[in-house]
Amino acid sequence: MRLGVVGFAPGDPRAVTEAVLKKGLDLGVTSVCYHGPGEILNDLTPADFNRVNALYDELGLELAQFGIGYRECLFDPDGSVRDRVVKTIGRGIEAGRALRAHNVLIRTGSLNPAESYDPAPENYEPGRLDVLMDTLSRVADKADEEGMTVVIETHVLTIMGSPEINRQVIEAVGSERLRVVMDFVNHFQSLDQAYRSTERLNHIFDVMGPISTVAHIKDISVEPGFVVHMNEEVPGAGVLDLVTAVRRWEEIQPQGYMLVEHLPEDKISTAVANVRRIAAEAGVEIV
């Protein structure tokens, strides 16, 4: 497997510098990734792409994932909203291709106006999943046209809230260019699953593994409080059997990236070191 980070680099490719990328390079990772806000995508020029690509080449780094930032919901009942976000994603796919990204990351969004990953009862109304799949088919058409792989970051609180729904949606759209992120932490639904994580991890990898091209590696900590509180944690500092997760990823994607994400800069080095230790315990070489 390969190891990278989502962090250090600012979201705007024009602001990426050698000094920023060296923070990742100093940790021995081979990919430094970031999310580009949708509102800047139309302003990026070929010169901007060439400059940042040259920096990556000079340092021997790859861009395993380029995230596209937007607030819209892919299954919004308003067709004009869906048209707008499809246009933004299309430009992000073009930017990802120009940046030589391995994957472009998107999210489904939510009908909760607060945040894209916040739950809402409207997300589960009849027909919402059909609207989502229609929008994703349009995204997949653009991905096919550009030769880019688009991955959806799914989560237990979203409309694609289980491994089974992930598989259903990807198979229904039917494009090899539309995949999901192997973000296994996002698909733990109960304390029982968290405390018996080997069984749950194997299930997640069995169902989602064949439709995943990039993975995110993190852990889960269980906190007290009503009703259930499970938080993201530094890899190796929580309750999950990450040895199994690393082994399963190596079986599926031996050249694929696992990315450390969602951490402040002062914790990234610890996370990377922990992943190296876990990989060694799993008998998996990080290349």
* pLDDT tens digit sequence for 236-260: 999 999 999 999 999 999 999 999 9
Nearest to 100 by CA among 171, 133, 52: 52
Residue 99 placed within a domain? yes
pLDDT band at 195; cut points 50, 70, 90? very high
Residue 121 placed within a domain? yes
pLDDT band at 225; cut points 50, 70, 90? confident
Digit-coded pLDDT (tens) for 260-283: 999 999 999 999 999 999 999 999
CATH of the domain at 223: 3.20.20.150
Distance CA 93, CA 106 (A): 10
Digit-coded pLDDT (tens) for 106-119: 999 999 999 999 99
Total domains in the chain come to 1
Give the H/E segment covering residue 277: helix 265-282
Domain that holds residue 151: 2-282
Query: What is the arithmetic mean of pLDDT over 3-7?
Result: 98
Residue 223 — φ and ψ, nearest 5°? -115, 150
Cβ–Cβ < 8 Å for 275, 236: yes
Residue 166 placed within a domain? yes
- pLDDT computed for residue 228 by the predictor: 86
Residue 170 placed within a domain? yes
Residue 287 placed within a domain? no
Distance CA 179, CA 287 (A): 23
The pTM (predicted TM-score) of the whole model is 0.96
With 90 as the cut, is the pLDDT of residue 172 above it? yes
Query: What is the arithmetic mean of pLDDT over 120-127?
Result: 96
